[in-house]
Structures are given as structure tokens and as C-alpha cells.
Amino acid sequence: MENKPIYRRIADSIIESIQKGGIVQDTKLPSIRKLAKEYDVSNLTALNAMRLLEDERIVYAMPKKGYFVRSTLLSFDGDNISNEKEQLYSLLASENDSGLTLSNGHIDLYPVQKISKIMRKQIYQNPNLLGGCISGHGHELLIDEIIRRAIEYGCSFSKNEICITNGGLESLSLALRATTSPGDTVLVQSPTYFYTLKFISELGLKCISVRKFDDIEHHLESHKIKVMVFNANFNNPDGMLLDESQKQRLVELSKLHRFTIIEDDVYGDIHFTERRPKPLRAYSSDIILCNTFTKAIGPGLRIGWIAASNHTSQVKELKQSTSKYTAEFPQAAIAEFLRSGGYDLHMRKLRATLASFRDEVRLTILETFPEGTWVSKPEGGFVLWVKLPHHLPNLETKIEQALSLGNYFVPGHFFSLEEDYNHCLRLNFGFGLTEEVKTAIQQLGRTFSE
């Protein structure tokens, strides 16, 4: 608590006071001058606390009148947050056969037998991969393969800046921790991956979300942005893909406004386009690029990587104190799979299969869900973003009923700080249109149509 900035501690205290006092929507809060006197701080510090609460949509401001409580604060208490986390973790830990809440493919899509064969051969020839002392920040042969392959999508990495991680989530976490301090402001897409929001919250950062690309410049002029977290290729959950001119403009803005871009490119290789789309990093060596092999080769491997650019030393220090090193055995197996050409052959087959899965699952949703339902058609990745018609009666009740049917989707509100996605759902198409998936979609369609 004491490590938090003073204005963050004041903001937390105000939240607690509102909750304990049961203060209702639209209640006027004390003036900035009164708050400064009550907490024995400057007017500027009190103002920063209120602006933080405004950014977090806990209060709203009225010109010349002051700050007022939003209705959304009533759902901000600890019990509700805890319940929401439990609900999300329950959905992600789903063991049903549909796999609709996940964001990866069925195990049959992955080269399990080939990887197993490589591992058996390697451990027989070099037992030290399993029992030896791990040193450095990644298996040298894997780093060489990452650098070699990056040339194909326009990126150039130095060997020193690559750090192998325990999956893409650790890469993202390390990048955020290396580039921010409590109280800094981070800009994200809306909707965005829910773990991005989780990390930002846990680090005590302020979060600004932007729904439209054309609105980014406005937010940059209105806020001092320290870091932007962006997925330019097949954003999870809505599948958005920036075109080249947009990517170039985003890089230009980062230089103009002096903020760091952390790029999450975990779906870049899983494209259905003619060519792999370039990441933002292809346009500037200053960008931190996070990636993983778990989505393409196998979720159980948990091998990711980060090209940390100017923040390499900080990332490596944090990696050392967090999880020390990443197991070398699976790194060596992946390196051999890449070197031998097995990865390229596998990916061609995987991309073709997933593209057909996307079309089949998408069509079934459109045929089954209420008229007016919108479903994304992403050019890569694993997930569909579904928007139910706003005019559906008792929509909130229907979503609760749909959740009770089983773990068949992730509700849209998990992907944003706003309330604009309560009518949205994310569904995984990585298992294809199996009987389980078809039955689940039909059940959801009936529930939303009643």
C-alpha cells in the first residue's frame, strides 16, 4: 500500500468511503479544496486523485459543479470483483468438450507426436537438457531460429535482446513491469485481452481504452501516456487487423508523443491471409514485441519470448527475480522443430484447418442466433466476437441463463473497462464444428431467441 502514489491512496480511500457509506448514484462529492484539506495534501494532488477516479469511471465531472458518483461504482466492491474473477477462471478452466471458452485449437491440431519424437531423441543424446544447470536467458539454438524467422516478417532482432519466457503471458507481464511505475497511464484497445487489464490493475496503473483507431490521437493529446499495449494482428477478442498505413501511423505517434509500445503478437503466425502480416516492430526497433509458440505448436509447452528493445536489461533482471529461467528441454525441441522445416509444414495445415473451422462455426452462429446478430470474421487467431442485437428484451437475464447452460462463451464485459460490451460474447472456433460445439451453439441460440 505504501508504495502507491499519494493520489492513488486517496482515490482508494474515497472508493472505500463511498462503498461503506452506501452513497448512491449522482451524489456530489466534496470539492477539491475540501479533499485537499481533509487529506492534508495540495489541491493538485487531490485533483489528480479525482481525475484517476474519473478515468476509472468511478466518478464523473460536471463543469463548475464538481465530481459526482457514477452508478457503476455500486458493482465495484471487493465481493463482486472476487466473484467475477472466480467466474472468469471457471470459464477458462472449462473441461467440457466444446472448448468454446478457450483461445486455442483442439489437441488433434497440434504436432504432439512429432514433438514427442524430437524430445525422446534429444534427451537420449543430451541428458543435460533435463538434468543440467540452466544458464542464460534462453536456449541459443531457439534464439537463433527466432531471429532467422523474424526476417521473413520484416523484423531484425539482436541476439542479446531476446529473452525466452514461460509463455506469452509472462512476456506481457515482464514488458509492463519493465516500462511502468505505479500511477503511470497505459493506453489499450477496447475490447482487449482480459489479462492485459488484470496486469494493469495489479501494477497500480491508470488505464485509458480506445475503441476506434481514429480516436487514438485524441487520447494522446488529452492524457500523458507512458505505455501503449497493442495487438495489431488479430486482436483478442474482436480479431481486428490494422493495415500497413495504420501500423506506420501508430509508430509515428509513439515517437511524436514519446510513449513505449508493447506489442502482443501471439496470433501473428496463425493468419489466413496470403502473407503473414507484419508486426508493429517491423516499423521500429524501439517497440517491445511479445510472442509465444504455445498457440501454434501446443498450449502445454508454455514457451514464449520477448524482444525487449531498449528495455532488455530491465526485462532480464525481472525475469531472473520472477521465475529465474525457462526450462531448456522444451526450448530445444521447438528449436529443432523450427530448424527441420516441421513448423512450416505444420502451420500451413493448421491455418487451412482453422480457416474452415472459422467459417463453419460462424455460419452456425448466424443461422441459430437471433436475427440481427453480428459475428466477426477474423483473418487469423482462434476466436469469434459476437454482438447480440441491442433490442433483445431482458438481455442481461438471457446472458445469465446462457451462462447457466455450461461454459460455452466468455462474456464481453471481461474484455473492457467500459459497459459497452455487455451484449457481446467471445467464442473459440479452434475445436471446429463438433457435435458438442453445434449443440452448445444451438442451446445458446434458443436461449437468446426466446
Q: Is residue 8 predicted with pLDDT exceeding 70?
A: yes
pLDDT at 1: 41
Q: Is residue 73 predicted with pLDDT exceeding 50?
A: no
How crowded is residue 137: how many other Cβ atoms within 10 Å of its Cβ?
22
Q: Is residue 74 predicted with pLDDT exceeding 50?
A: no
More confident residue, 17 or 262: 262
User: Mean pLDDT in the chain?
Assistant: 90
Tell me how far apart the alpha carbons of residues 423 and 413 are, in angstroms, rounded to a whole number. 8
User: Edge-to-edge, what's the strand order for the sheet holding 227-230?
Assistant: 162-165, 304-307, 288-292, 260-264, 227-230, 185-189, 206-210
Q: How far is CA 34 from CA 53, 289, 424, in A?
A: 17, 45, 41
Q: Are the beta carbons of 244 and 278 closer than 8 angstroms?
A: yes
Task: Read off the C-alpha cell for 114.
Answer: 512429432
Please report, rounded to a whole number, the percentage of residues in the chain having pLDDT higher than 90.
Answer: 67
Tell me how far apart the alpha carbons of residues 78 and 82 are, in angstroms, rounded to a whole number. 6
Summarize the confidence of residues 250-256 as an average pLDDT: 98
Q: Are strands 59-62 and 260-264 parallel, antiparallel or unpaired?
A: unpaired
Tell me how far apart the alpha carbons of residues 225 and 250 are, in angstroms, rounded to a whole number. 13
Predicted structure pTM score: 0.82
Summarize the confidence of residues 195-209 as an average pLDDT: 91
Instruction: Give me the count of residues in the chain.
Output: 450
Task: Read off the C-alpha cell for 262.
Answer: 508493447
Task: Read off the C-alpha cell for 1.
Answer: 500500500
Lowest mean pLDDT across 47-51, 169-173, 408-412: 47-51
Task: Read off the C-alpha cell for 121.
Answer: 531423441
Reported confidence tier of residue 333, pLDDT bands at 50, 70, 90? very high
Q: Is residue 78 predicted with pLDDT exceeding 70?
A: no
Lowest mean pLDDT across 124-133, 243-252, 403-412: 124-133
Chain-centroid distance of CA 355 in Å reads: 22
Residue with cell 470459464: 91
Lowest mean pLDDT across 70-79, 166-175, 250-259, 364-373: 70-79
More confident residue, 40 or 81: 40
Give me the phi and psi of 105, to 5 degrees please.
-90, 170
pLDDT at 96: 67
Q: Are the beta carbons of 336 and 118 closer than 8 angstroms?
A: yes
One-letter amino acid identity for 171?
S
pLDDT at 69: 83
DSSP designation for 386: E
Task: Read off the C-alpha cell for 435.
Answer: 457435435
Tell me how far apart the alpha carbons of residues 384 and 368 are, in angstroms, rounded to a whole number. 15
Q: How far is CA 237 from CA 244, 246, 388, in A?
A: 21, 19, 15
HSE, CB side, 13 Å, CA atoms: give it for residue 161.
Answer: 18
Please report, rounded to a whole number, the percentage of residues in the chain having pLDDT higher than 70.
Answer: 92
- The domains found in the chain, sorted by start residue, are 6-75 (1.10.10.10), 79-108+345-449 (3.90.1150.10), 112-341 (3.40.640.10)
More confident residue, 81 or 431: 431
Reported confidence tier of residue 79, pLDDT bands at 50, 70, 90? very low
Tell me how far apart the alpha carbons of residues 267 and 378 are, in angstroms, rounded to a whole number. 11
SS3 state of residue 32: helix
Q: Are the beta carbons of 408 and 418 closer than 8 angstroms?
A: no
Summarize the confidence of residues 386-415 as an average pLDDT: 91
